[in-house]
Structure 1
Amino acid sequence: MNVNIVKILRKISVKKYAFILIIICFIFQLIGYKFGNSGGDIVKVNIDYVTVHFDLKGSPPMLTYMMNLLPTLKNYGVNSILMEYEDMFPYEGNLANLSSEIAYTKTELTDFLLEAKKLDIEVIPLIQTFGHMEFVLKLAEFSVHRELPYNPGEICPSQPGSLELIRNMLSQVITFHNFVQPIKYIHIGCDEVYNINDCPNCIRRNLKNHQIYYKHLINVKNIVKDLSPNTKVLFWSEFNYSQKRINLKNELEDYKHELNDLEPIDWEYVGERVNSARLYRMHEVFNRVWFATAFKGADDVHGKEPDIMKRYLNHIHWLNQVLTYKPPKYNVKINGIVLTGWSRYSHFARQCELLPFSMPSLILNLLLIKLFREGINRDFLYKYNHCQIYERFIKKDFEKVYATHASHVECSFRSVSVAKLKYPNYKSCLARIEDIRTDWEIYSLTNLQDMTNTVEMCNDQLRNGIIVMEKLKPLLSEFYRKEVIDNYLNETINFYDTKVGDGIKEFIMKIMNFTFLPRRSFGPLPIIKYGD
């Protein structure tokens, strides 16, 4: 080294040397250099809330199981739970009939909330206040509040009694929660309001559909603020983009000052349909917005386990959209993500994937969110596809929990199955039975070999149903009460066992009673009764 340079370095104090090093590092950052990251920028999804949705309608796990889940969820980055109570909240007084016969007790719920509080996990109650109010409006004493007299799905927002009913529901839930820990957020539902502005009370107001919708939102928000002034209000947002022919920014200008403390959640569960343009439209009106994915309950109304690849792609698409999103103005924020886990598509629908069978999907996608929140090299997102991102950044941690069985295949998580059960294919049986029944109705007979094959195939499925049921009973007893297990088994096996068995029995009786038929004849064409 040059002697003069050495002399100069010796004269520089340690503090000055450190200062010079900091300046050099700063200059390198300005020109886009990142140490240890192959020359690419580190990008992050900056959100405050990672929220897991527990949908309790008709498929409520035991709270002891859910309490045991909390430390695991915390470990994977979850800091809030969205509790969609439906009929599992212990309502009292004139609302007592809203609660299921197996609703949680206040003691059980208090223990759960205290455990969440200890882990610093925020619990956000979800109470439906517009659509999906079947569990309320199916009851005789509340049926007068329906938007349509024959449909218990939507409440009429134009009846004063409707808002009083909603106030009573919210009051009981908010009071109970605030006693344990003051709630920062409450979710008021408002998704899938299929029937709106249809009843005479609404029509007389001479308002557009979106005006009816948002005025109701504001009314419910005001109820919340009256009951709990520091609580902010969440709602499902699809009404923002379903009204494609209106400009919400202009249409809601008159209500803008009343939309404070309302935060929409944009939900989309199909990967290729995810579009940040909807976030943009919401940010034109609201300062804080959320987005929602699904880890279960979004692929098949009768699903048994989530399509884990579709669920993974759903999250990948959303996270990439959020990374590249440019809002329309300053001082707005994407506040959080909700990983929804639907148990039923509606109050009257059958159960879809159970929570214990969906945990691989949940853990996988929590690891993915954790990766994007901590930061990922921008170049990697362009260089690697979704499976390569999993293999490089997630697989090691995922396989600490769930062993994969196809490591040579891309996205090896697809091989994970918790249940490991082959459910009977009742749908195929019923379709073939219906074809044979149609033959009988047209020709008074059917191809007997086809019928024999169908009977054999269906008998195999009936036997398989018994095997699956005997395996499920002890497996599910760790997570659910007997009443919930029985309901699931009836919807999944017992009901179809009877339906398929009755079809087979019907055919056997017809064959036994068959004697002879006349020669083939061609009668007149029957009249079309319903197609005109």
Structure 2
Amino acid sequence: MMFQIFKKCRRIKINFFMISLILFSMYLFVSYSLVQKLMSKSTNHKIQVHNTAVTLPNVVIHLDLKGSPPKLGYLKRLLPQLHELGVTGFLIEYEDMFPYEGPLANLKARNAYRKSELQDFLKMVVNLGFDIIPLIQTFGHMEHVLKLKQFEHLREVPLHSNVICPSKSESQILIKNMLKQVIQFHRNIFQLNYFHIGADEVYHINKCKQCLQRNQTNATLFLNHVKFTTDFIKKISPQTTVLMWEDMLRTMSMPEWGIVKNLRVEPVYWNYQPRLKVSHVALNMYHKKFDNIWIASAFKGADGMNATVPNIKKRFSNHLSWMELIQNYKFGGEQDIYSFKGIILTGWSRYFHNAPPCELLPVSIPSLFLNLLLIQHFKRGNDWVECDNLSDFFNKNLNDDFTALLRCTDPIEIDYFDVNQCYFDGIDLYKTLNHCDRFVSYISKTVKDILQKSTAFYNNDIDTDDQHIKWSKKTLNDLVALEDKMVKQLSRYYNKHFVAEYVNHKLMSSQQMMYMLLENENYMKSTAKPPWVIRGKR
């Protein structure tokens, strides 16, 4: 009797387990299907373009000079095409490339632009009808200043050089002196319509003793420093409109917005994702508090800290998402479509001052040109169009113009971007750096395979050792040849200091790996023993 009950209970447990397993498998399948559907929707959503023309008075390209200033001759060569593509100005983020003088002379890097050559370049840019918007960091991203012993005592957090303490009088004096030099330099050349104060990603705030003693919230402390900065700019240059990145404002709570008063600034809302995640609440608050709102996309510098070339499909999707959003954007309770003041196409050179260089400007020209074409397309206004996905939109609206602009012999595929048949200033470097990435990856994989086989079992194969040594020597020679080629091509666009840094960044680890492998293989060969010694007696 007990045995039958036990058997019955066991059968019930087994059935319960099987049903649970089936239900769980169904759950996983449905979940996976939903995720796949959402991912597909995020990258292949239907695109609807209305016949309303986008109003963007300012189309501005961001030149991030962070430790990698392009030769001004190269930038001059780009100006005519950029003018034809509707560019109205340049946001120049100088960081340590501005020719500071006097007490601030230490702020400039050894490869900073000379005062005379920068003046000559700016005059040419302004004479062609472009606006110049200088950008000087005044709160966060101040590593280039606070890394110096002369100014490290002004850090908000001693161990981090990115944020300046806003509560120290010396900090305010330093920022005033920086602003004064940069503003006066530009005003001697042209009328300074805009100035950008940075103010993004202030990750360390209200931490030091002086800040805590003020007994203010993070938001109040931040806003007071921004107000101090903007008030000073308006005092010495009343006609200048001040811009700032808005991400620190975006995180403020509704009660904190009540303290935003008399802040004479125009926020730049930035988002670099292929599919935008925009806070409409924040946009609405900016609309209430500020005269104008700008937007910012990214044509490079948003696809990974070590990226070599931009992911052109993601960059295109980012810009298209922005255009779709603003084409018919209305704030609640308003009938009119809102006109954003302008778009800044950011092109980051490094994620922060001490980070390695990411995509270079010459190899990012296809991304830049494509997205400028896209903005032109929306500014002209077109008949209502519906496309199945990103590729469909590109092929129907931009492929012919883009192919012609890059002087490509074959139409371009946005899904499998290949510019090997194109001819633009930078194509040779583009090809070389793509080859470099593939070659470095090949070396890493091959060395790993060789080392995995370098056990006692395999070490005594003299022929194999000889093959590895020959491969190592040939690969080292190929690396040297690649280095020479990269130096030659990079020198067309950059000074010798940055060329050396970039080549080392890309090739040094592979070269070291090869020298170590060659040394290891030579040692293994010299100490190899006959197979019967290794195996021992049976």
TM-score (norm 1): 0.80
Offset from partner CA, 1:103-155 (integer Å, 9 cap, x none): 11121111111111111100000001111111111111111101111211111
In structure 2, do the counterparts of structure 1 residues 175 and 470 end up closer, same or farther at CA, with 3 Å as the change threshold? Answer: same
Work out which of the residue numbers 408, 411, 414 in structure 1 matches 2:414. 411
Residue from 247, 252, 255 that aligns with 2:260:
255
Provide the secondary structure at the position in 2 that maps to 1:109. Answer: helix
The equivalent residue for 1:288 is 292
Question: Superposition pairs for residues 513-528 of structure 1, below 5 Å?
Answer: none
Name the CA distance, whole Å, in 1 between partners of 2:188 and 2:482: 44
Amino acid at match of 1:259: L
Deviations 1:142-179 (A, max 9, x none): 11101111211111111111111000000000000001
- Counterpart for residue 192 of structure 2: 183
Contact residue 276 and residue 322 of structure 2 kept, 8 A: no
Q: Which protein, 1 or 2, shows the higher relative CO under an 8 Å CA cutoff with sep ≥ 6? A: 2
Indicate if the aligned counterparts of 1:433 and 1:454 stay in contact, CA closer than 8 A: no
Query: Could you say which residue in structure 1 is the equivalent of 2:370?
Result: 364
Question: 1:445 and 1:146 mapped to 2: Cα distance?
Answer: 55
Measured in 2, the distance between the counterparts of 1:97 and 1:460 equals 45
Counting only pairs closer than 5 Å after superposition, residues 137-148 of structure 1 correspond to structure 2 as 137-148=146-157
Partner of 2:32: none
Instruction: For 2:324 and 2:345, locate their aligned partners in 1 and report how far apart those are by CA, in whole Å.
Output: 16
Match of 2:133 in 1: 124
Alignment-derived partner of residue 104 in structure 1: 113
Q: Which residue of 2 aligns with 1:476?
A: 490
Q: Note the C-alpha offset of 1:205.
A: 1.9
Matched residue SS, 2:417: helix
| SS of match in other structure, 2:297 | strand
Coordinate RMSD, CA, aligned: 3.1
1:297 and 1:342 in contact (8 A); partners too: yes
Question: 2:347: which partner in 1?
Answer: 341
Q: Which moved more, 1:81-90 or 1:510-519?
A: 510-519
Q: Match for 2:512 among 492, 498, 502? A: 498
> How far does the alpha carbon of each residue in 1:34-62 deviate from its partner, in whole angstroms, 9 at most, with x for none?
xxxxxx96212111110000011111111
Kindly indicate whether the alpha-carbon contact (under 8 Å) linking 1:265 and 1:290 is maintained by their aligned counterparts in 2: yes
Alignment check: 8 A CA contact 1:124 1:185 kept = yes
Q: 1:373 to 1:433 in 2, by over 3 A?
A: same
Structure 1 range deviating more: 185-194 or 274-283: 274-283
User: Which is further off, 59-68 or 420-429?
Assistant: 420-429
Over residues 482-530 of structure 1, what are the superposed CA-to-partner deviations in whole Å (9 max), with x where a residue is unaligned? Answer: 22222211221235422553355357547756889999xxxxxxxxxxx
User: Which residue is 2:59 aligned to?
Assistant: 50
Structure 1 segment 85-484 matched on structure 2, within 5 A: 85-243=94-252, 246-247=253-254, 250-256=255-261, 258-260=262-264, 262-275=265-278, 277=280, 278-328=282-332, 333-377=339-383, 379-380=384-385, 382-383=386-387, 385-404=389-408, 407=411, 410-411=413-414, 414-416=417-419, 418=427, 419-421=430-432, 422-424=435-437, 425-426=439-440, 462-484=476-498
Q: Secondary structure at the match of 2:191?
A: coil
CA distance in 2, matches of 1:239, 1:41: 33
Q: Distance between the aligned counterparts of 1:43 and 1:138, measured in 2? A: 49
CA distance in structure 2 between the aligned counterparts of 1:201 and 1:230, rounded to whole angstroms: 34
Measure the CA separation in 2 of the matches of 1:508 and 1:329. Answer: 78
Separation (CA, whole Å) in 2 of partners of 1:212 and 1:479: 42
Give the conservation status (yes or no) of the 8 Å contact 2:64–2:347: yes
CA gap of 1:142–1:391, structure 2 versus 1, over 3 A, is same
Change (3 A) 1:313 1:510: same
SS at match of 1:334: coil
Conserved? CA contact 1:426–1:461, under 8 Å: no
Report if the CA contact (8 A) 1:344-1:351 is conserved: yes
The two structures have a TM-score, normalised by structure 2, of 0.79
More moved, 449-458 vs 198-207: 449-458
Q: What is the CA-CA distance between 1:350 and the residue it aligns to?
A: 1.1
State whether residues 237 and 266 of structure 1, in contact with CA within 8 Å, keep that contact through their aligned partners in structure 2.
yes
1: CA distance between counterparts of 2:144 and 2:77?
28
Q: 1:514 to 1:104 in 2, by over 3 A?
A: same
Q: Is the 8 A contact 2:98 2:112 kept in 1?
A: yes
CA separation of 1:412/1:282 partners in 2, compared to 1, >3 Å: closer, same or farther? same
Aligned to 1:8: none
How many correspondences in the alignment? 468
Distance 1:109 1:138 in 2: 25
SS in 1 for 2:405: coil
Deviation at 1:307, TM superposition (A): 1.1
Is this contact kept in 2: 1:147–1:195, CA < 8 A?
A: yes
Give ranges in structure 2 of 5+ residues lacking alignment: 1-48, 421-426
Q: 1:426 to 1:287 in 2, by over 3 A?
A: same
User: Residues 461, 49 of structure 1: CA spacing in aligned structure 2 closer, same or farther, 3 A cutoff?
Assistant: farther
| Counterpart-to-counterpart distance in 2, 1:312 and 1:234 | 25
Residue type of the alignment partner of 1:317: S
What amino acid is the match of 1:485? V
**Which residue number corresponds to residue 77 of structure 1?**
86
Q: Distance in 1 between matches of 2:362 and 2:321?
A: 25
Quote how far apart the aligned CAs of 1:473 are: 2.5
Q: What's the secondary structure of 1:130's corresponding residue?
A: coil
Query: What secondary structure does 2:341 align onto?
Result: strand
The answer (yes or no) to whether the contact 1:405–1:412 under 8 Å persists in 2 is no
Residues 343, 351 of structure 1: 8 Å contact kept = yes
Gaps of 5+ in 1: 1-39, 520-532
Mark the CA change 1:253 to 1:511 in structure 2 (over 3 Å): closer, same or farther: farther
Q: Which amino acid aligns with 2:436?
A: Y
Structure 1 residues 155 and 400, CA gap change in structure 2 (3 angstroms): same
CA apart distance, 1:201: 1.4
Q: Against the structure 1 CA distance between its residues 149 and 313, is the aligned structure 2 distance closer, same or farther, given a 3 Å change threshold?
A: same
Q: Which amino acid aligns with 1:415?
A: D
Q: What displacement does 1:406 show?
A: 6.0
What's the % identity of the aligned pairs?
37
- Cα distance in 1 for partners of 2:501, 2:347 equals 19
| C-alpha contact 1:274 1:318 (8 A) present in aligned 2 | no
- Do 1:430 and 1:500's aligned partners in 2 also have CA atoms closer than 8 Å? no
Query: Using a 3 Å threshold, how does the CA distance of structure 1 residues 201 and 364 change in structure 2: closer, same or farther?
Result: same
Q: Is the 8 A contact 1:343 1:353 kept in 2?
A: yes
Distance in 1 between residues matched to 2:76 and 2:130, nearest whole Å: 11
